[in-house]
Amino acid sequence: MADEEQQPEAHEPTESPPSERSIADNLSELATTVATGIPPQAQRNLWKAFGRVVLAGVEWPENYLKGKGQITKAAAGVKVARLEAEASEIRAKQKAREVVLKESAKASLPHLRDPQTSSRALDYHFEEITREQQTREDILRIAARELSEEEITVDASGEIEDDWLFAFFKIAAAKTKEEWKEAFGRVLAGEIKKPGTFSISAVEVFSRLDQATADIFRRACNLSSEVGRGARIVVPEDLSIGENKFAHLGLSYTDIARLVEVGLLRHDLSEYTEFDISKDEFSMQIGHADVSLVIASAELPEGQSVRLPRLRLSGPGFTSVGAELRSIIDMSHSMDYLKALSGYLNKMGLSMLFVVRNEAGGFGLMKIDPVT
């Protein structure tokens, strides 16, 4: 009697398309990202993050990475052999994991005193790890989109660290809301472009923020400027934070205290940076929220015949963690705040102007009218 063709066991999956919005979607979008011309090292960092996320896949990661090796070689000169080695390693790790999980489950069954409770626990655990995996894939997809939409002119200086990826995805997987995924996707994209941009401390602090504190931090970023060596919220002298005169602009003393408490702002609320404004031709450019500003000499106020020697811009500064996280916030400036700041500067014989793009494609200046 001829030997019957051996069929695969029911529990062994065949290579079929993954569920909606899972590996297949990410693979397609990541492949598109590569085709846009990401520089070689940044590209490799992206594939490294991809490998970390899809280790739980069955055959897809191995087969795709082999094909990706051919693409990457043509686009960036990276050796195919190295990428194929990554694919083999992924497959070996996955097979080992499957064996361990299956054998562990079999060994546990005889010792379960309450099969129904144990079954519910297993269902809960399965749903949890599935949700976390979906979150990781979503974050990776967002990072790929961020990279594809940006023109990267300077390649990454080094390789993204394995420990950073492991800790990042462990932390980020706990957040399921879309706004958190978007934020973590921008963090991952930033780290892929420039490893070392975001510390794990910053990722941990960010993940612990409740929604109310995250909203306060966003408002603080909208009122912040890059002055001197760091970012701070410049507070005009007549709008003291301690006396809560800054609250009408969207940030109360309690809000500031909360950001200090969680480690996003420094404790000294009166830190300052000084500039010499004694000369008539004084000007400087600063970044503020989502715009660029110029502070320049203007007509002296009525009754003042001599320019003041120094300009002091004071206010709470961002900690290193706060500064890292500020870079991923989608900021928008407040005209009420800028008019108040412009009024303060006018009293010192200075004007504040927007840097704007003109019709010819160059840049011009537009004055910000102060509060009257």
Residues 187, 243: Cα–Cα separation, whole Å = 36
pLDDT tier for residue 93 given thresholds of 50, 70 and 90: low
pLDDT of residue 198 exceeding 50, the answer is: yes
Mean pLDDT of 316-329: 95
pLDDT in tens, 326-366: 999 999 999 999 999 999 999 889 999 999 877 776 777 88
Longest distance between any two alpha carbons in the chain, whole Å: 113
Mean pLDDT of 245-255: 91
More confident of the two residues 308 and 254: 254
Backbone angles phi, psi at 318, to 5 degrees: -75, 140
pLDDT of residue 81 exceeding 70, the answer is: no
pLDDT of residue 190 exceeding 90, the answer is: yes
pLDDT tier for residue 321 given thresholds of 50, 70 and 90: very high
pLDDT in tens, 258-272: 999 999 999 999 899
More confident of the two residues 111 and 43: 43
More confident of the two residues 152 and 294: 294
pLDDT tier for residue 228 given thresholds of 50, 70 and 90: confident
More confident of the two residues 252 and 75: 252
Residues 6+ apart with CB under 8 A from 49: 140, 143, 160, 165, 188, 192
pLDDT tier for residue 75 given thresholds of 50, 70 and 90: very low
| Spacing of C-alpha 277 from chain mean position | 37
pLDDT of residue 370 exceeding 70, the answer is: yes
pLDDT score of 98 = 55
pLDDT tier for residue 1 given thresholds of 50, 70 and 90: very low
pLDDT of residue 28 exceeding 70, the answer is: no
| Range scoring the smallest mean pLDDT among 180-189, 252-261, 305-314 | 305-314
More confident of the two residues 139 and 64: 139
| Spacing of C-alpha 167 from chain mean position | 15
pLDDT in tens, 173-186: 999 999 999 999 99
pLDDT score of 157 = 87
Residues 319, 261: Cα–Cα separation, whole Å = 11
More confident of the two residues 60 and 328: 328
CB 257 within 8 A of CB 250: no
pLDDT score of 101 = 57
Mean pLDDT of 218-242: 91
pLDDT of residue 131 exceeding 70, the answer is: yes
Q: Is 69 helix (H, G, I), strand (E, B) or coil?
A: helix
pLDDT tier for residue 14 given thresholds of 50, 70 and 90: very low
pLDDT tier for residue 86 given thresholds of 50, 70 and 90: low
pLDDT of residue 100 exceeding 70, the answer is: no
pLDDT of residue 60 exceeding 50, the answer is: no
Within 13 Å, how many C-alpha atoms sit on residue 87's CB side? 17
Closest CA to 31 of 112, 148, 131: 148
